[in-house]
Amino acid sequence: MHTLPADPALIDSRQAAWRLLATLGLVVLGNSSMYIVSVVLPAVQTEFGVGRADASLPYTLMMVCLGLGGLITGRMADRHGLMPVLWVGALAVCGGFIWAGLSGSIWAFGLAHGLMGLIGSSSTFAPLMADTALWWNRRRGIAVAICASGNYIAGTIWPPIVQHGVETLGWRQTYILLGIFCGVGMFLLATLMRQRPPLVTLVPANASAPQVDRSRPFGLKPAHAQSLLFVAGVACCVAMSMPQVHIVAYCSDLGFGAARGAEMLSLMLASGIVSRLVFGVISDRIGGIRTLLLGSFLQGVALLMFLPFDGLVPLYIVSAMFGLFQGGIVPAYAIIVREHFNPKEAGARVGSVIMATLLGMALGGWMSGWVFDMTGSYHAAFLNGIAWNFLNLCIASWLFLRVRRAERGASARV
């Protein structure tokens, strides 16, 4: 289904605001599966009679497929527009939940989550972030942050709802009902996304910054710049995954219990919502690459704070700090793509970087456990995360220096 690009006058308009509200709803519905699989894990493990490792495979499979799917759905959105991609995603979310609810083995359960990640959740992540970046200019940063915060909002509201459903209806019935609700909701909201975004080159969100050559982002070939962002995305999220995936186990090892760790994780995600909104405002003022650099530095500081403090109250404080510091990193990549690459390729390029971040989360969650198994220490796992964060910081710093050099050259010519 092909439609003409929207009138550039609609950028930053009331229509863009309504579209952003629909986008937020799509993200909350489409990303539901990312956070509820851990809620039903004990019941699934018991019913299928498998070990904890096998019961955890559906989550890993879903995250890997979500990363790969972002690249696929991003390219589809660039070519066909958002609405048909979201319709397919709605069918995948609905069908995936129902398939999982009717599954007779852990492998069928895992494949159902792979389907939801590959086509369902992925349609409401990278493509929507790329689309949002094209509909906004003056408030681009906060708009992308609102879109991205839907992921954390999903992680806040769906687990308690599903837990109540598991206790009253059973996990299978809960999955089927959730699939119908999310699928129908996505399908209806997708009808509001028919209009293609404006494909125009506008000034950066930071109006004082000079125009950039989008044929050579950061003065590099597009493929080289994309590769650097891909590596940076993997590195930052290997580091990010350490507290998010292992904070519950870490608290259990310290003798505080899993419940305290779950509270810290919830606090971390809630702080991440605030972080994404605040960093959105910041990126409107300083641009994407500076926001990435700032977020990477602050995430490194928060990771370092986990090393000397292992008391209950300090861990609550550091967990909140980590959520506040890291929430703006992933949305910054969408801003960077919008500011430095061809807008016609936004969906595919944002999808590629988001795939890198999700692969980094999957790799980091496993790697931190492997380091712990090898050393018997979560301190070593934190140090591993800090090293990966330093790699991200180095890439962000180098790209920032290239931007500064180009800005100075443009100012000198003026």
Is CATH 3.30.70.100 the classification given to domain 217-408?
A: no
Task: Please state the rounded mean pLDDT for residues 16-26.
Answer: 95
24 has a pLDDT exceeding 90: yes
Is 217-408 in the same CATH topology as 8-193?
yes
Distances 74 to 115, 129, 262, 328, 399 between C-alpha atoms, Å? 16, 10, 33, 21, 24
Digit-coded pLDDT (tens) for 59-88:
778 888 888 888 888 888 888 889 999 999
Of 173-187, 198-212, 244-258, 322-336, where does mean pLDDT reach its minimum? 198-212
Phi-psi region of 167 (alpha: psi -120 to 50; beta: other; left: phi over 0): alpha
Could you tell me if 149 and 276 are in contact, meaning their C-beta atoms sit under 8 angstroms apart?
Answer: yes
Radius of gyration of the chain (CA): 21
Whole-number pLDDT of residue 58: 81
Q: What is the DSSP letter of 310?
A: -
Could you tell me if 317 and 40 are in contact, meaning their C-beta atoms sit under 8 angstroms apart?
Answer: no
Q: Read off the pLDDT band of 414 (50, 70, 90).
A: low
300 has a pLDDT exceeding 90: yes
Task: Please state the rounded mean pLDDT for residues 43-49.
Answer: 83
Task: Give the percent of the chain with pLDDT over 70.
Answer: 93
Task: Please state the rounded mean pLDDT for residues 165-178.
Answer: 92
Q: What is the DSSP letter of 376?
A: S
Digit-coded pLDDT (tens) for 118-171:
999 999 988 898 899 889 888 888 898 899 888 888 877 888 888 788 889 998
Digit-coded pLDDT (tens) for 318-366:
999 998 998 889 889 988 988 888 877 777 788 888 889 888 887 887 7
Greater pLDDT, 22 or 244: 22
Which sequence spans correspond to the domains of the chain? 8-193, 217-408
Could you tell me if 214 and 117 are in contact, meaning their C-beta atoms sit under 8 angstroms apart?
Answer: no
**Interacting residues of 164 by C-beta distance below 8 A, sequence separation 6+:** none
Q: Read off the pLDDT band of 196 (50, 70, 90).
A: confident
Is CATH 3.90.580.10 the classification given to domain 8-193?
A: no
207 has a pLDDT exceeding 50: no
Cα–Cα distance for residue pair 343/163, rounded to 1 Å: 42
Of 247-261, 328-342, 378-392, where does mean pLDDT reach its minimum? 247-261
Whole-number pLDDT of residue 364: 83
Whole-number pLDDT of residue 394: 96
| Average predicted confidence (pLDDT) for the chain | 85
Cα–Cα distance for residue pair 333/40, rounded to 1 Å: 32
Cα–Cα distance for residue pair 396/391, rounded to 1 Å: 9
